């Protein structure tokens, strides 16, 4: 890492300070030293950011790094590579590893491995219940002191309302947000995709949208009842967005995130891809009405962050019959381009709001550091080219897995440089 790095001539957007101007940023000793016009520095590496946009480093609050246990799909090291290639300077690692991260020792393993091998920041998320079985609470104090920044049983809901209530109450002591994967397992049983005209025509077993909505409504009420903070993972239905909106309006401590694929695809994609399980994930791709409502939630602030739910899988688990395939797609490396191309370029979302949803929004939602460009803070910075046109080629993914429905899509707007602690961790050619 050089002593100084000068980012010159880029359009700097920092939602926290409402900055949107063509200014320079000087980084020294890993921190932001100055932000201003016509900066000069001795012995500084100069990066010409003309034509590019410079923002705080993106933060992904929902990633599956698969290590420990499924290093065949992804490791902390490769997941971090993928993150950096997507412009992310920090990721939050979900605990559904093998073993589940429900103990301080597993958390410490993740933290230490990340320190050694990850080129971006890795914040572990601990499990809400032991083994994520939904029955007994994990040791939140230990998890927090080992480094967990939130708790979740992601992959599964906390089906039992009594357990969810206790988790919310207990987590409050430690200031840990409770992230819920909202799905009523009885309603969604056997479902491989969203229940609707497409699933009926294709004969694929399906889960109705109410299976998500019911749990979101429940969680909002429980958060209100306990006074605790609940964060809704990967929100995907219109009625769930509405539940969060109403909750926020009456002061409930609820936040929510949405994924790039739910913002840009519907269940029609399953038909368009002819039963290819690259279109299979949980929550599933929904109807156009749902998709529009999620976008509206992004615009009016009901949804606080865009999060990838990056879920790597081996080819064996995705090249098979639809209902046998694993749920999930990778997303770190295509997230920004998809959102920029599908939402900003089409005029649905303005660029500043997109930046906020990837930086300040996620940071505030989970109480994480970063998400801003502030003098004296560690220099986590993302630089992207809003005009770059590129086709998604899985062979060039830096992550280990290739399960993406966006293969061969041509998108506009790509990250070009990712900087963590003042050091360049990704540079596209």
Partner 1 sequence: MTGWTQKHLLGIEPLSVEEITLILDTAVQMREIMERPIKKVPTLRGRTVVNLFMEASTRTRASFEMAERILSADSLSIQAAGSSVSKGESLLDTVKNLEAMTPDVIVVRHSSAGAANFLARCSNSRIVNAGDGAHEHPTQALLDAFTLRQSKGRIAGLKIAIVGDVLHSRVARSNIHLLTKMGADVTLCAPPTLLPQEFSSLATLSWRIDEAIEGADVVMMLRLQQERMTSAFISTMREYHAQYGLTLARLKRAKSDVVVLHPGPMNRGVEIASEVADSKASLILDQVTNGVAVRMAVLYLLLGGGRE
| Cβ proximity of 253 and 232 under 8 Å | no
CA atoms within 13 A on the CB side of 171: 31
**Cβ closer to partner 1: 192 or 258?**
192
Min dist. Cβ of residue 146 to partner 1 (A): 35
Binding to partner 1, residues 17-56 (CB under 8 A): none
Q: Three-state SS for 406?
A: coil
Coil, strand, or helix at residue 364?
helix
Nearer Cβ to partner 1 (81/237): 237
Closer by beta carbon to partner 1, 321 or else 395: 321
Q: How far is the CB of 324 from partner 1 (least distance, A)?
A: 4
According to DSSP, the β-strands at 193-194 and 206-207 are: parallel
Query: Whole-number minimum distance, CB 188 to partner 1, in Å?
Result: 14
Cβ distance 387 to 243 under 8 Å?
Answer: no
Q: In terms of CB distance, is 21 or 200 closer to partner 1?
A: 200
Q: Compute the least distance from the CB of residue 208 to partner 1, in Å.
A: 11
Is 219 designated active site? no
**177 DSSP assignment:** P
Among 141, 200, 387, 389, binds partner 1 (CB under 8 A): 200
Q: Which of residues 178-197 bind partner 1 (CB under 8 A)?
A: 196-197
Query: Are 177 and 231 spatial neighbours (Cβ–Cβ below 8 Å)?
Result: yes
CA 208/CA 238 separation, integer angstroms = 12
Per DSSP (E only), the strands in 134-237 are 150-152, 178-180, 193-194, 206-207, 230-232
Decide: is 58 part of the binding site for partner 1 (CB under 8 A).
no
CB of 270 to partner 1, least distance (A): 9
Query: Which H or E element spans position 427?
Result: strand 423-427
Which listed residue (37, 116, 203, 251) binds partner 1 by CB under 8 A? 203
Give the C-alpha separation, 407 to 40, whole Å. 42
What's the first-to-final CA gap in the chain, in angstroms? 19
338 contact partners, CB below 8 Å, separation of at least 6: 260, 261, 263, 264, 406, 411
Among 201, 251, 376, 429, binds partner 1 (CB under 8 A): 201
37 vs 321 by CB, closer to partner 1: 321
CB nearer partner 1, residue 204 or residue 298: 204
Out of 122, 204, 240, 293, the residue judged to bind partner 1 by CB under 8 A? 204
Calpha distance 209→211 (Å, rounded):
5
**Smallest distance, partner 1 to C-beta of residue 204, A:** 5
Q: Which position has the token pair 């050091």?
A: 423
Partner residues linked to 169 by β-bridges:
none
The least CB distance from residue 320 to partner 1, in Å, is 4
Cross-strand partners of 241: none
Nearer to partner 1, 136 or 316 (CB): 316
Q: Give residues with Cβ within 8 angstroms of 109, minimum separation 6.
A: 68
DSSP code, position 28: E
Tell me how many residues contact partner 1 (CB under 8 A).
18
Residue 257 C-alpha from the chain's centroid: 8
- Minimum distance between the CB of residue 333 and partner 1, rounded to whole angstroms? 25
Q: In the numeric block, which tokens belong to residue 429?
A: 């050619």
| CA proximity to 128, closest of 165, 188, 89, 178 | 178
Q: Given the complex with partner 1, which of 131 and 205 has the nearer CB atom?
A: 205
Which phi and psi (to 5°) does residue 126 adopt? Answer: -90, 165
Q: Does residue 32 come out as left (phi exceeding 0), alpha (psi in the -120 to 50 range) or beta?
A: beta
Give, as ranges, the residues between 311 and 330 that touch partner 1 (CB under 8 A). Answer: 316, 319-324
Shorter beta-carbon distance to partner 1: residue 195 or 341: 195
Catalytic residue from among 14, 304, 309, 385: 309
From 198-206, 218-226, 388-396, 410-418, span contacting partner 1 (CB under 8 A): 198-206
Residue 314: CB minimum distance to partner 1, A: 12
Mark residues 324-363: x for contact with partner 1 by CB under 8 A, - for none: x---------------------------------------
For residue 342, report the phi and psi dihedrals to the nearest 5 degrees. -85, -25
Query: Site map for partner 1, 253-292, x if CB under 8 A?
Result: ---------------------xxx----------------
By the criterion CB under 8 A, which residues form the site for partner 1?
Answer: 196-197, 200-205, 274-276, 316, 319-324
Active site residues: 309
């Amino acid at each position: 890492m050089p002593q100084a790095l000068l980012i010159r001539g880029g359009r700097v957007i920092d939602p926290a300070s409402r900055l949107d101007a063509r200014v320079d940023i000087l980084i020294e000793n890993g921190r932001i030293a100055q932000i201003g016009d016509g900066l000069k520095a001795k012995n500084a590496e100069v990066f010409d950011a003309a034509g590019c946009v410079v923002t705080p480093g993106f933060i992904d609050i929902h990633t599956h790094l698969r290590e420990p246990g499924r290093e065949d799909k992804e490791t902390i090291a490769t997941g971090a590579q993928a993150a950096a290639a997507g412009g992310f300077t920090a990721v939050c690692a979900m605990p559904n590893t093998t073993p589940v991260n429900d103990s301080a020792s597993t958390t410490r393993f993740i933290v230490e491995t990340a320190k050694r091998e990850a080129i971006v920041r890795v914040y572990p998320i601990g499990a809400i219940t032991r083994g994520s079985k939904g029955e007994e609470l994990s040791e939140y104090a230990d998890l927090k002191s080992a480094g967990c920044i939130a708790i979740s049983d992601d992959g599964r809901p906390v089906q039992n309302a009594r357990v969810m209530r206790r988790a919310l109450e207990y987590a409050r002591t430690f200031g840990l947000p409770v992230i819920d994967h909202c799905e009523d397992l009885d309603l969604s049983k056997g479902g491989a995709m969203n229940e609707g005209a497409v699933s009926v025509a294709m004969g694929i077993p399906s889960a109705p949208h109410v299976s998500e909505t019911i749990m979101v409504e429940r969680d909002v009420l429980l958060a209100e009842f306990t006074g605790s903070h609940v964060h809704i993972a990967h929100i995907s239905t219109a009625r769930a967005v509405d539940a969060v909106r109403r909750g926020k309006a009456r002061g409930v401590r609820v936040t929510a995130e949405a994924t790039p694929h739910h913002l840009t695809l519907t269940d029609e994609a399953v038909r368009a891809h002819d039963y290819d399980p690259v279109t299979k994930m949980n929550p599933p791709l929904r109807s156009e009405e749902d998709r529009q409502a999620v976008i509206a939630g992004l615009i009016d602030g009901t949804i606080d962050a865009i999060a990838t739910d990056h879920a790597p899988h081996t080819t064996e688990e995705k090249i098979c019959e639809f209902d046998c395939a694993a749920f999930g797609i990778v997303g770190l490396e295509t997230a920004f381009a998809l959102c920029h191309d599908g939402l900003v370029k089409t005029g649905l979302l303005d660029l500043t709001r997109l930046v906020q949803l990837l930086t300040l929004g996620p940071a505030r939602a989970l109480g994480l550091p970063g998400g801003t460009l502030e003098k004296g803070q560690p220099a986590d910075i993302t630089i992207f080219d809003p005009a770059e046109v590129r086709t998604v080629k899985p062979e060039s993914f830096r992550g280990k897995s290739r399960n993406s429905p966006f293969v061969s899509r041509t998108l506009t707007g790509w990250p070009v440089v990712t900087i963590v602690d003042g050091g360049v961790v990704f540079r596209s050619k």
